[in-house]
Structure 1
């Protein structure tokens, strides 16, 4: 039996705020901006003064952390 080891890793996927808004139903670019300002949104990158990017995996991870199993749970 041979061991299977991946020889390549998946490339990071970077998204603009507009693409993140399309990825999450009901999300607006302005809401993402507010989440960034308040420090409550997904981790983001700012390689230049005007460019904001998100790693797709970070957005999914942030979204998954908001999962609840009951309406009794505190947000």
Structure 2
């Protein structure tokens, strides 16, 4: 089966996630009042890997289904 993402895409995605996670954690540990936009981006940064995992699994299982039911 072919790869779903290139190594370069995986690297930049991991880099983007790591930077957003560090930023989100710095917002958590600040003991200031948070604005609504900060809270929104905090939730996005923490939920991002779960959404990526769901997309990866959906691509993986739909690719297998297409190969099994392909007609020649």
Larger radius of gyration: 2
Q: TM-score, normalised by structure 2?
A: 0.27
Q: Which has the higher contact order (CA 8 A, sep 6+)?
A: 2
